[in-house]
Amino acid sequence: MPKHFFACDVTREKAQIVLSSEHRDTQWLPYQAAYESLRYDDDKTALWELDQRIRRRDLPGAP
C-alpha cells in the first residue's frame, strides 16, 4: 500500500484542520513524543526528515 507524507504550516494562518471519518484519533505532540508514538520505520523516517528540513529552513515558502 503506498503511503504519502505531507506537512503544512498552520502557525501563520488561522487554519481549521478538518479530518475525514477515517481518522479516529488525533493528537498534537512535541517531536520526541510523536516520534516515540510511531510504530513503523517509514513513518519515523518521514517525521525525522521533516524535522531536519524545518531546522534547515529547507521547505517551500520558508522565510
Least confident among 7-11, 22-26, 41-45:
7-11
Question: Look-up: residue for cell 481518522?
Answer: 23
Torsion of CA 8, 11, 13, 16, to 10 degrees: 70
Cα 33 to chain center, whole Å?
13
Q: Sorting pLDDT into bands at 50, 70 and 90, what band is 23?
A: confident
pTM for the full model?
A: 0.76
Q: Do residues 31 and 51 touch, judged by C-beta distance below 8 A?
A: yes
